[in-house]
Structure 1
Amino acid sequence: AAAEVGSNIVEGIGAMIGISRVKRQQQEIDRLNAENAALHEQIGTLNRANREEKARHEQAEQQLQAKLDRIEHWLPDTQTLISWGEYCCDMGIPESGAREIIAMKPLYVSGELRAPEYSRRFDVSNTEIRLQRDPNGPGGFQLLIDRQPAHAWFRQRYVELMTRLGYPVRPERPVIRRHTIKR
Structure 2
Amino acid sequence: MPKARVWRQGKRTLRLCANDLLTRERLIAYHDSYAAAMAKYGLQRGVRGSEARHTTTAQYNRDLKRKTGELEANVRQLQNEQQQAERQLDEVRKDIKSEKLEAAKTEAKAALVAKVGSLLGSGKLKELEADNRTLQDEVAARDESIELLQQQMERQQEEYQRQLMELQARHRREMADKEAAHQREVSFLKSIIQKAKKWFPLFQELVYMEKFCLKVGFTERQTATLISGKPLFYEGELYSEEHRRKFTTEEAGFQVVKDPKDKSKLALAINGQVIGEWFKEQFGRLFSSVKRTVEPLRRGKGMGL
TM-score, normalization: structure 2?
0.47
Partner of 2:79: none
Task: Determine what percentage of the aligned residue pairs are the same residue.
Answer: 22
The answer to whether the aligner puts 1:74 opposite 2:199 as a matched pair is yes
More helix by share: 2
Q: Who is 1:155 aligned against?
A: 280
What runs of 5+ residues in structure 2 fail to find an aligned partner? 1-125, 294-305
Separation (CA, whole Å) in 2 of partners of 1:110 and 1:14? 93
The farther-off stretch of 134-143 and 108-117 is: 134-143
User: Per-residue displacement from partner, 1:27-82 (whole Å, max 9, x unpaired)?
Assistant: 22112111111111211221222222222222322322232222122112111111
Instruction: Give the structure 1 partner of residue 152 of structure 2.
Output: 27
Instruction: Give distance in 2, aligned partners of 1:98 and 1:29.
Output: 66
Unaligned runs of 5+ in 1: 169-183
Of stretches 94-103 and 112-121 in structure 1, the one that deviates more from structure 2 is 94-103
Give the 4+ runs in structure 1 shifted more than 6 A.
6-11
Greater Rg by CA = 2
Out of 102-111 and 68-77, give the one that drifted further. 102-111
Q: Highest relative contact order (Cα 8 Å, sep 6+), 1 or 2?
A: 1
**Over aligned residue pairs, what C-alpha RMSD do you find?**
2.9
Q: Secondary structure at the match of 2:278?
A: helix
Which stretch of structure 1 is more off in the superposition, 133-142 or 113-122?
A: 133-142
Matches within 5 A, 1:28-67: 28-67=153-192
Q: How far 1:105 moved relative to its partner? A: 3.1
Give the C-alpha shift of residue 116 in structure 1.
2.1
In the other structure, the counterpart of 2:270 is: 145
Amino acid across the alignment from 2:281: Q
Distance 1:132 1:10, change over 3 A: closer
Q: TM-score, normalised by structure 1?
A: 0.74
Distance 2:197 2:188 in 1: 14
Q: In structure 1, what is the Cα distance between the partners aligned to 2:247 and 2:208? A: 22
**Aligned pairs (5 A) from 1:1-183:** 12-134=137-259, 136-137=261-262, 140-166=265-291
